[in-house]
Structure 1
Amino acid sequence: MAEGVGRSLLYPQEVNSIFGVKGIAVTASYGKLAHDTAKIDPAECSAVANPESEQVWEAVDWEALSGLLLQSPEGDNSHFVLEAIFGLSSPAEAQKMMTKSAQEWKFCLGKPFSVTEEGKEPVRESMIDFNPSGDIMTALVTVEGTRYRCQLVRTRLSKYVVDAQACGFDITDQAEKVAELIVGRLKEKSGS
């Protein structure tokens, strides 16, 4: 990945500011895709249930990945935030991923799906909103029977794909704000 691109990710204090809270901290950084062992039913909703998994990105020519997982302490107002930048081989390959993702996300709109981790009860989720618009798409996923929800955002700038996911009980547009700030930094670094 071009020098400094990974530094376009947001710092915890910036994420805390977006959420209007304190205590969200980096719990992991990563440079490779997750090997998802959870069973997703239907499997076609893997792109929504775990957007950074090997299964989702296996047919795409990506070259580099820089990501952070941030979380707040458990409790009534706990938050989970994922932010990632993928460097792809070309702008055309990045657009290919956006087109593929839009089709996969649209498939899951309005369809309940389950996520079953080994040794745990299935969690039923539903994508209740999907909005593709130009080089950005957003989705809202809820966990059935709770107020817990996640906003997913995937956007593109040149040969980069930016992912942001924000989960909690008070989610509105936080993932979109995270993604917008990352893209702004990428533009500064690339001079676009």
Structure 2
Amino acid sequence: MDNGSVRSRVDRRRAWVLAAMTALMLPMTACVETVDGTALRGHGAGLTDVAPLDESRLDSVLVGIDEINSIMGATGMEVTGELDEMSDHSADVSDPDCLGAVYGAEAPVYEGTDWTAVRDQVAREPGAGNDHWVEQAVVLYPEERNARDFLESSQAVWRDCANNALGVGDYLWELGAVEAADLMLTQVTTQEGADGWSCQHALSLVSNVTVEAWACGYDITDEAARIADAMIRNAAG
């Protein structure tokens, strides 16, 4: 399948999430200080020192579909789109400065970070009436410092966009408060008028990569953070 076809499939899945019912800050203080190696304590990932990754490892960082189904409490989710390049949906949001809070693997968001490779994957149930939707993305940088810089800048963006409504296409999303613990950022975003359809967004890092996940459904709690944890474990394996 060519990249144009794959991009179209991923874009349609993202559009579906934003139209779900008709068919994506607190300071971290010392936890983002530079240290030797990567000390990971976020959301139960454990204390791990991880050697730098290269592009050949990125696919193995992504969480397998069986584990995705387990985390989401689902049985029929399938991988429906994959990309190895950044997208640009800045024209779709009412405040482009908040693009990184609602979309993943976006070229404007990662501009200037010196990223070198990306893997972006979407999973959901097949058909129109999906109950669950997940996106996971892993981004590679030359050094750990680049990953930490991105985490710090994202913290500021998410904080500035929190507790506000953001237009995405024809839909309005309420961005909740940002939670920061160790090296993990999380935020829940709820679509207005969609009977509680919401997405948890999680962002963390391990060595010289950032891991990001969105978990969407009707009873979302900490699923995106759990997926990010699993990505960290995969990177450390």
Give the 3 Å change call, closer, same or farther, for CA 37–102 of structure 1 in structure 2: closer
Q: Which protein is richer in strand relative to its size?
A: 1
TM (norm. structure 1) is 0.89
Q: Any stretches of 5+ residues in structure 1 without a counterpart?
A: 117-121
**Alpha-carbon contact 1:155-1:179 (below 8 Å) kept:** yes
Aligned length: 182
The question of 1:177 aligning with 2:206 is answered no
> Once the 2 structures are TM-superposed, how far is the Cα of residue 36 of structure 1 from its aligned partner?
1.5
Partner residue in 1 for 2:30? none
Matches within 5 A, 1:16-165: 16-36=69-89, 38-73=91-126, 74-75=128-129, 78-116=131-169, 122-146=170-194, 147-165=196-214
> Once the 2 structures are TM-superposed, how far is the Cα of residue 181 of structure 1 from its aligned partner?
0.8
* Amino acid in structure 2 at the alignment position of 1:148: W
> Once the 2 structures are TM-superposed, how far is the Cα of residue 125 of structure 1 from its aligned partner?
0.6
TM (norm. structure 2) is 0.73
> Once the 2 structures are TM-superposed, how far is the Cα of residue 183 of structure 1 from its aligned partner?
0.1
Query: Equivalents in 1 of 2:180, 2:112: separation in Å?
Result: 21
Query: Equivalents in 2 of 1:187, 1:37: separation in Å?
Result: 33
Q: Which protein is richer in helix relative to its size?
A: 2
Which of the pair has the greater relative contact order for Cα pairs under 8 Å at 6+ separation?
Answer: 2
* Amino acid in structure 2 at the alignment position of 1:133: A
> Once the 2 structures are TM-superposed, how far is the Cα of residue 49 of structure 1 from its aligned partner?
2.0
Instruction: Give the aligned CA root-mean-square deviation in angstroms.
Output: 1.4
Deviations along 1:74-131, one digit per CA (max 9) or x if unpaired, are: 32x5211011111111111111100110011001111111012xxxxx2101111211
**Alpha-carbon contact 2:159-2:177 (below 8 Å) kept:** no
- Which aligned runs of 4 or more in structure 1 are off by greater than 2 angstroms? 1-5
Q: Any stretches of 5+ residues in structure 2 without a counterpart?
A: 1-53
**Alpha-carbon contact 1:38-1:115 (below 8 Å) kept:** no
Q: Does the residue aligned with 1:113 lie in a helix, a strand or coil?
A: strand
Give the % identical residues: 25
**Alpha-carbon contact 2:58-2:118 (below 8 Å) kept:** no
The question of 1:14 aligning with 2:63 is answered no
Q: Does the residue aligned with 1:70 lie in a helix, a strand or coil?
A: strand
